[in-house]
Chains A and B, each alone.
Chain A
Amino acid sequence: MKIFCPDRLPAVVKGMVDQSAEKRSGSNDDDRYEAFVRLLVEHEPRVRSFLRGLLPTWYEVEEVTQEASLVAWRKFDDFEEGTSFGGWLLTIARFEALKYRRRVARSRLVFVDEVWDLLAEEASGEEVQQIRRQHLEICLEKLGAPKRDLLLHVHAHGVVMRKVAEESGKSEQAFYKVIQRLRAVVLDCVLKEIATEGA
């Protein structure tokens, strides 16, 4: 029996329906579903940011983000309304990242335990200033279209920066410096935006 309208679920949580279906019934299902999706959409960027500082590639960030989303969906019945969903999701993400880390711990890109723990602890704090998308968009506009497009392009899904560097006709080192300079300019601008906002 189709109890929980699984075709209405996001693909990311679709696989969890079977396990969850027996626990759920009635119109509350839709409310729970809507609530979960709303919270996930709101807090997922923070999770990705958090994981980006722990995991060395975007592939891993995406995988662990997805895994954390699935776990959160499985455990959503345990989440207490009124408490911080963001903090709860971040805790799950941290745990999932740790599990992932164990599989790739020997990579030079993976931090040793002590550094990992420090970064995870400090990045998950409630007081951490968050860069938001609107901050960035303002600063990207200030960059001008060519630089903006270049910066976005090298950060886009699947783009290999080394190949873009090759095709630019510049040395890799020179190209990386340009990108790093653009990042620094944008970051400076973003921090000013945040400060202005808070003033």
Chain B
Amino acid sequence: MMTNSDLENLIAAWLDGRISEAESESLQQELRESAEARATFNTFAQLDAVIREVADTEGVGAILQASGSSVSIPKRATPPYARALLAIAAGIIIALTAVLYFQPMKAGRNIVRIKGLNGTLTWIGDGGQMVQGSDSPQTPTRWSNVLGKGAELPGGTIEGMAPDSWFELEFHDGSIGMISGDSILTFSDQGQKELRLKQGRFSASVVPQPAGKPMLIHTPAAELKVVGTRFDVEAGPASTMLYVREGKVQIRRVSDGKTVDVPADHRVVVTADSDMLLRFVGPDRTWAQTPVWENLSTSGNQDSIATQETRDYDGTRNLILSEEPAALPAQDTGHTIRSGDLLEIRYVWRSDKWWTAQDQVAIKFFTTDNDLMSGTPTFFATLLSGTPTGDGTYQAGSGRATATETESGKKLFVAIDTQDGGGELDGVAHVDNFQLQVTRFRKPGLRRLDDFQLEGTPFSDPPPAPTPTIIIGGNVRNGDFNGK
């Protein structure tokens, strides 16, 4: 039987993960034989759990001189996590660390409310503490408590773990921000909002901030000062793209300090060697401003947004595709179907907010009972895109279908729809450079050129071999969505 002191030391060594093999055997021997030892063990484990709960849900203040105890800690331990980040962007981190790590926090003070969330999210730290052991078994874990809509949070780091993850927060002054996809955002508010977008996409609508205290956003490549505006920012390891929708945002390149004011409807890309020139971004256009294409949705609202220039494929406008029933782009191709027509489509697309890993673009061919778009549709072919890569890049979509006698003689209509796979009808995707071509083959049973030649009948002007005709594509029927 070991002493209480020895037992408690072994329990502590086990809880701290520093127990040796021999000590572990001693501890287990004692636990096997003594109910009292097990009760002590259980009590210390409980205590450890409750201390952990308090430490994690309160912002733990800066570690002070541990006066009165036998240990003196001259400064707060710099987390290994911070060291790793320092290696990436020392300049940014030094400034941010000063705020987030060393500034005493008001314990447990909530600064944001969760407006909505989706998918797998990881909560890395709280109370602005943001510490993480890179070589520790205590690696970051998901927030196992309830992280629900309407809940309030102190400062901390939220990370989207999947392409369909998103997290929308609202500061107490009404400023709203949202990350989507594989993004990592740290947020704090000590009288001045300070955020760090380590990677990914962050959209925000910021109410006017107090004089001299703009919202600061740090990315690996740039720093943003936001007084009050709407904007989107995308951050990668070496580049940052800022698109300002309203107001003005100042952006400063970390590497050389070059600063640019970005006005509304402009965007700028910051890399180590970019010229940081402003590029005008045309405002979103409605269906009414988008020729040929119509919104065939149940509401049919032609004033809703149809195309935009952000999230572009080739620097031009693209079609916004939504799972919501409020939008269904379609057009009358002007083509009259003949049996055997080969319909081939190709396009590029990318997933965006709330688009799950199972959602797909669905190109649908249909006819109507009166050959008008407003008629009752009969869908005769659906061509699916496949699932998204989820990495924020455009991917190719294509497919083909053959018209039958049933459709013959009717007008061909095409719709760019979605096929839900994730159970939620709110995903957004972008489509560009849509092309539809038709190859018309002769009807089976008609005589062919060979038939005439076999009969000895000269046929000096043979019919051409079937070739595809592009009926939508580029500026033909606004296949690039750039027409106005």
Contacts and interface: CB of A to CB of B under 8 A. Distances in A.
Nearest to A3: B423
B38 A130 contact: no
A100 to B, nearest CB: 13
Nearest to B139: A59
A163 B83 CA distance: 13
B61 A115 contact: no
Given A10-B147, A112-B28, A176-B12, A157 B55 contact: yes
**Which DSSP category, helix, strand, loop or mixed, fits chain B's interface?**
loop
Contact of B71 (A17, A131, A150): A150
Given A2-B423, A8-B149, A62 B80 contact: no
B165 to A, nearest CB: 9
Given A49-B49, A136-B51, A153-B63, A57 B24 contact: no
A114 B141 CA distance: 29
B149 A159 contact: no
Interface string B24-66: 1000100110010011011111111111111110101111111
B12 A179 contact: yes
Nearest to B67: A146
A195 B162 CA distance: 48
B119 A178 contact: no
Interface in A117-137: 118-119, 122-123, 128-133, 135-137
Interface string A43-73: 0110011001100111111110110010000
Interface in A138-193: 140, 144-147, 149-153, 155-164, 167-170, 174-176, 178-180, 182-184, 186-187, 190-191
B409 to A, nearest CB: 36
B89 interface: no
A39 B447 CA distance: 77
A130 B76 CA distance: 32
B79 interface: yes
Contact of A149 (B64, B74, B116): B64
Nearest to A121: B38
Interface stretch (B125-133, B273-281, B311-319, B367-375): B125-133
B423 A17 contact: yes
A153 B42 contact: no
Point out which of A14, A65, A66, A132 has the most chain B C-beta atoms below 10 A from its C-beta. Answer: A14
A interface, how many residues as a size bin?
Answer: 35 or more
A187 B144 contact: no
Interface in A1-60: 1-2, 6-12, 14-15, 17-18, 21, 37, 40-41, 44-45, 48-49, 52-53, 56-60
A167 B77 contact: yes
Nearest to B13: A176
Interface stretch (B15-23, B293-301, B455-463): B15-23
B284 interface: no
Give the one of A18, A49, A160 with max B CB within 10 A: A160
A118 B8 CA distance: 18
B422 interface: yes
Interface residues of B, number: 91
Given A118-B32, A131-B47, A149-B64, A160 B136 contact: yes
Interface in B84-139: 116-121, 124-126, 129, 131-133, 135-139
Contacts of A129: 43
B71 to A, nearest CB: 5
B140 interface: yes
B47 to A, nearest CB: 5
A76 interface: no
A102 interface: no
A105 interface: no
Nearest to B422: A18
A190 B49 CA distance: 14
B60 A152 contact: yes
Contact of B45 (A10, A52, A158): A52
Contacts of A62: 141-142, 144
A175 B71 CA distance: 7
A111 interface: yes
Given A41-B146, A115-B31, A133 B50 contact: yes
Contacts of B14: 56, 109
B113 to A, nearest CB: 14
B452 interface: no
Contacts of B16: 161, 176, 179
B446 interface: no
A58 B141 contact: yes
B469 interface: no
A146 B125 contact: no
A114 B50 contact: no
Residue among A128, A135, A156 with max Cβ neighbours from chain B (10 Å): A156
B49 A45 contact: yes
B427 to A, nearest CB: 12
A108 interface: yes
A178 B73 CA distance: 12
Given A136-B54, A147-B66, A152-B54, A119 B41 contact: yes
B142 A187 contact: no
A180 to B, nearest CB: 5
Contacts of B403: none
Nearest to A57: B137
Given A7-B116, A10-B148, A108-B24, A153 B50 contact: no
B145 interface: yes
A174 B70 contact: yes
B19 A108 contact: yes
Contact of B12 (A60, A140, A147, A183): A183
A156 B48 contact: no
B73 to A, nearest CB: 5
14 contacts: A2-B423, A7-B149, A14-B120, A45-B50, A49-B50, A52-B46, A56-B14, A109-B19, A150-B66, A157-B124, A159-B138, A175-B71, A190-B47, A191-B43
Given A56-B14, A66-B142, 16 more contacts: A11-B121, A44-B144, A45-B49, A48-B49, A52-B52, A108-B20, A114-B32, A115-B31, A122-B42, A131-B50, A156-B60, A158-B125, A164-B77, A170-B72, A183-B47, A186-B51
Q: Which 5 A-B pairs have the closest CB atoms?
A: A53-B45, A62-B141, A158-B132, A160-B133, A49-B49
